[in-house]
Amino acid sequence: MLAFCKKPRYTFYMNEPWNLCDSFHFPVGAAINSWNLDEKDAHHGLLSHFNAFVYENEMKPRFLQPQKGVFTLEKVKALADFGKAANVSLRGHTLLWHQDMPDWFFQGSAPGTLVEPEQLYERIHDHISTVMQAAGNSFGYWDVANERIGDDGTLRHDTFLDICKSDEYLQKAFEYARKAAPAAKLFLNDYCAEFPGSKQDGFFNELARLLEKGTPIDGVGLQGHISLYHPSVQDFKEAIERFASLGLAVHITELDMSFYKEEKEPELSLSNEMLTAQAERYKALFDMFSEEHAKGNLEMVLFWGLSDDCTWLNSFPVKERKNWPLLFDRDLTPKPCLLRLVGK
Ligand code: GLA
């Protein structure tokens, strides 16, 4: 059935006569690609279910500044325009990350050398200010940095740390971001912090340290790449409450639910039991999210993709292994988990 839903200044083309996002008091979003903004794209109709968006890959530094000083910002502007017209929230993801930095970013003047810390700070400054200023005020939320904590809970040992020897680059990145877009909320985003352990402790302690130093951080992103089995809803809830206790806004930034228990498990064949279990688990999670939102602990939740045909989990951690982590099926129809969330 087709219907049209009028949102201010933008008409969403809808496949269903109802919206997922209308079932919740907080924004529910999705990671998209720039081509999904085109009304002729097959997935475009799914956008009407969400009221927050983030690009899955297209705002990573390698794509926005492939060469020093050469910025490609058209897609950022396209999402900004869409966000304004559709009156939806936008997240910018991500200004810094150890993956997807362009090679030149860390290179010193002599071949094979690393840049000095002061020059790196300059590059971080120029990247952050140019991108944020081009994006304008449509983007209310930014992941200033992604995945800064290693699995052992210490600051990630990567090229940023090799050059700077401390987390000073992070503090500076947040300061540059605050200056470039004073009204935007600034986030540090990471994975595997939805359950207790050294990763959660390390992330919590690093946020506390940065806040203590006066770093302008407003929020914490818990990615939420979970499975049908792990973590428990209770652990996830306690994680949200723990991070909110720092006085930070909490976003679930990359939610999806893998059907695999083991990393290297052979491909499963999909069953109704699995789909029902997924529906019950998503329902329990969203009940908890609603409670945490009502308590002021959770601001927004975004799915990492629109439908099962185009999730990253079809090729990670095992290439060409089908997975079913999202709310829409491969043929773009609502799955039992979506129907359960909207009470259909
Ligand atoms: C991480 C990153 C995302 C994306 C996913 C995989 O979670 O934060 O930007 O690359 O992996 O799609």
Ligand 1 mutation pick, 96, 254, 256, 306, max ligand atoms within 8 A of CB = 254
**Alpha helices in 110-186, H assignment, sequence order:** 117-135, 159-164, 168-180
Given the CA of residue 94, which atom of ligand 1 is nearest to it?
9
Residue 115, token pair as written in the block: 């840049």
Mean pLDDT of all residues in 251-255: 99
Longest dimension (CA), the chain: 63
Beta bridge partners of 227: 258
pLDDT at site 9:
62
Whether omega before 317 lies within 30 degrees of 0, making that bond cis, reads: yes
User: What pTM was computed for the model?
Assistant: 0.97
Q: Would the pLDDT of 144 be above 50? A: yes
Mean pLDDT of all residues in 123-133: 98
Are the C-beta atoms of residues 129 and 73 closer than 8 Å to each other?
A: no
DSSP classification of residue 101: -
Considering only CA atoms, which residue is closest to atom 2 of ligand 1? 146
Mean pLDDT of all residues in 260-266: 95
- Residue 144 C-alpha to ligand 1 middle, in angstroms? 14
Residue 268 makes CB contacts below 8 A (sequence gap 6+) with: 259, 260, 274, 322
Confidence of residue 5 (pLDDT cuts 50, 70, 90): low
Average pLDDT of the residues of the chain: 96
312 in contact with ligand 1, CB cutoff 6 A: yes
- Nearest 5°: CA angle at 294, between 290 and 297? 90
pLDDT at site 2:
43
- Nearest 5°: CA angle at 139, between 123 and 23? 145
Is the torsion defined by CA of 17, 291, 298, 199 positive or negative?
A: negative
Whole-angstrom Cα distance, residue 148 to residue 192? 12
pLDDT at site 13:
77
pLDDT at site 16:
87
What Rg value do the Cα atoms of the chain yield, rounded? 20
Where in the sequence numbering do the catalytic residues fall? 147, 190, 254
